[in-house]
Amino acid sequence: MYRHDGTGIVERFPDTFLAAFPVAIETLPMLHFFPGAKFLQVCTVGCNLSCGGCVSEILVGHAESLAASGTALTTGDLLRLAADHACTGIAFALNDPIASLPTFCRLAERAREQRLLVGCSTNGYMTEASALYLRERIDFANVGLKGSTDASYRACGAKSAAPAYRTIRLLHEGGVHVEVSIVYRRGGEEEVMGAARMLAAISPHIPLQVMRFVPFGDAGLGEEPTIYASEELCDRLRNILPWAYLFNSPGTANLTTFCPACKKPCIEREFFGPMGAHLAGEARTACACGHALPVRGAANPEVFYEPGMMGGYRATRGLEMVWAILACLGVEGQADLARIWSEVLRTGMLGKELHDRMNNIDAYLDLVMDFAHRAGREEAGRELCTYIRERLDFVRERVVDAPRPRVYYAMGHPLFALNPGRFEGKLVEAAGGTYVNRAIGREGKPGVSIPREEFIALAPEYLFTSGFLTSTVEDTLRYCAEHNLDVPAARNGRVYAMHPSWDFGSPRWILGLMTIANVLHPDRFAFRIDEEADEFYRRFYGVPYRASAANRSFAHPGTERR
């Protein structure tokens, strides 16, 4: 992103941004700064670190192609968009602002002239001079830590942890509102606890956002801790830092801000995609008991809901869903990927259109052919659609007159219900089940937390947990027992954790459909799932199927491609 022009270091793509869209501040994420406020989220491409399992892999690993793709927004464009959408401010997120520091700082200066708040999400790995330069131009920052030891930073290509903690201290001392996020990998409890102790030495009032590690990119499932283990870690952290929150864990109560005096909820939040949260009720910066919370700025009375795939890192998952289709079509060239991604961004397809087509089985097949045409891979598109259509039609025909058991679909904890219109529910119905989530009269993204009484009233006979952010069968049954969720599914042991990315986001959903059909109607289906998966992976990825290598990525087949 930089070059030497003979006299000094200059940006290769100055004053150009890849994308911009309005978001609620909790999706950046920021939790103690103007709750519910709408910000224009902007990004470029590139990063100064290289971390395994990066949620922004698309914007980091494909920087060269995306930066030269022809999709560009100017500073003037961003200021007009912020005004058009009545945004409170502008936030640089998704990739690191250090990749475009002069450009971002020029934007920040002009935004402040228009009385806009300015902030960013950054890994904080920068020189002291850069941190001081940045802090004069921003109002808030989320600094994403990799750990507390030098080893955790060397794993990302850096030298040591010291620069990131120095940045936090300098920003905090300069009056910038700082929140800190940290990745929690299985077995990495001491990395997180060590970070909490180092932060407490700077200020015990810094909110700490624990990002339960979700294996994207080339990371493996063995690095993913359970939601239960993550919640227990948060309990320990609050002995060091009172404001510890848990992300990537649908259904957890650890996203809500509770009054430290009377323990009542003051700012209720729930899961909103990878690394994101969203307000789920009334937000009060002071408790009814009179205790004031360490929150800067007033809460917004109107909650902004991002359309389609917009909102925080959900946008990167939307781009990866496009990549997932292209990967099955054999599109591997960086230039082709960048060209199609830029079309998706430029046309606004990433919003409602992509979301709606991705959540409809038959429209999904049309979407495959759409991208096959864009990529010049029509024959590969027809082969993929024929493979899926043959198995889809077979399942639908065999369940026409079948009894339809009641099926509930959760994500993470059982009381986080997927939306009525989600793709997973369409799979349940195609496989001959009744999707009881349709009886839930409200929606979130990708779902909502429901009370125990509502869950029991749904009386599911089968309970599936999403393959994207799942819980083990053992943890689901444990949760049901602890919360007295006495429903037929739990009582009869009909609880299932779906295979990663086999029920949403990738053409591999056809394998999920066959899996669900086997479970709901064993008298009508006997798909040999491992054999079906091996055929799919060999035909569309060029590799054999190996379940042990799977992860949560939509595009990656879970093993090294040929």
User: Between 189-202 and 227-237, two packed helices, what is the crossing angle to 10 degrees?
Assistant: 30
The sign one gets for the Cα dihedral 483, 488, 492, 496 is: negative
pLDDT at 491: 96
Separation of alpha carbons 139 and 152, rounded Å = 28
Q: Are 31 and 279 in contact (CB under 8 A)?
A: no
The average pLDDT across 106-116 equals 97
Give the pLDDT band of residue 313 (cuts 50, 70, 90): low
Answer with the residue of higher pLDDT: 67 or 368.
368
- Please compute, for residue 274, the number of CA atoms within 13 A of its CA located in the half-sphere on the CB side: 23
Q: Are 496 and 465 in contact (CB under 8 A)?
A: yes
Percent of the chain topping pLDDT 70:
93
Separation of alpha carbons 124 and 171, rounded Å = 10
Give the pLDDT band of residue 562 (cuts 50, 70, 90): very low
With a cut of 70, say whether residue 62 has pLDDT above it: no
pLDDT at 161: 94
Q: Where are the domains of the chain?
A: 2-250, 316-398, 406-549
With a cut of 60, say whether residue 497 has pLDDT above it: yes
The average pLDDT across 458-482 equals 94
With a cut of 60, say whether residue 296 has pLDDT above it: yes
CATH entry, 406-549, from 3.40.50.150, 3.30.360.10, 3.40.50.1980, 3.30.590.10:
3.40.50.1980
- Taking each continuous run of H as one helix and of E as one strand, the counts in the chain are 20, 19
Residue 473 makes CB contacts below 8 A (sequence gap 6+) with 495, 496, 497
pLDDT digits (tens, 9 = 90+) for 179-206: 999 999 999 999 999 999 999 999 999 9
Among the listed ranges 55-59, 173-177, 320-324, 369-373, which one has the minimum average pLDDT value?
Answer: 55-59
Give the pLDDT band of residue 560 (cuts 50, 70, 90): very low
Answer with the residue of higher pLDDT: 291 or 317.
291
The token pair that represents 453 in the structure block? 């009484």
With a cut of 50, say whether residue 441 has pLDDT above it: yes
pLDDT at 71: 61
pLDDT at 215: 81
Residue type, 94: L
Separation of alpha carbons 460 and 434, rounded Å = 9
b/e sequence 430-465, b meaning 16+ C-beta within 10 Å: bbbbbbbbeebeebbbbbbbbeeeebeebebbbbbb
State the pairing for strand pair 416-418/177-184: unpaired
Among the listed ranges 178-187, 341-350, 405-414, 473-482, which one has the minimum average pLDDT value?
Answer: 341-350
73 three-class SS: strand
The average pLDDT across 329-343 equals 83
The token pair that represents 505 in the structure block? 């986001």
Among the listed ranges 297-301, 368-372, 511-515, which one has the minimum average pLDDT value?
Answer: 297-301
Among the listed ranges 138-147, 149-158, 391-400, 486-495, which one has the minimum average pLDDT value?
Answer: 149-158
Q: Which of 149, 163, 169 is nearest to 96 (CA)?
A: 163
Rg (CA), the chain: 23
With a cut of 80, say whether residue 359 has pLDDT above it: yes
Give the pLDDT band of residue 312 (cuts 50, 70, 90): low
Separation of alpha carbons 115 and 89, rounded Å = 8
396 three-class SS: helix
Dihedral in degrees, nearest 10, Cα atoms 225, 228, 231, 232: -100
DSSP string, 287-352: -TTSPBPS-BSPPPSS-----TT-STTHHHHHHHHHHHHHHHTT---HHHHHHHHHHHHHTTTTTH
Residue 521 buriedness (CB in 10 A; 0-12 / 13-18 / 19+): buried
CATH superfamily, domain 2-250, is: Aldolase class I (3.20.20.70)
Separation of alpha carbons 267 and 36, rounded Å = 10
pLDDT at 554: 82
Average pLDDT across the chain, whole number: 90
Answer with the residue of higher pLDDT: 47 or 502.
502
Answer with the residue of higher pLDDT: 148 or 444.
148
The average pLDDT across 194-220 equals 91
pLDDT at 561: 39
The average pLDDT across 137-155 equals 94
Q: If residue 177 lies in a helix (H) or strand (E), which one and from where to where?
A: strand 177-184
pLDDT at 437: 98
With a cut of 80, say whether residue 385 has pLDDT above it: yes
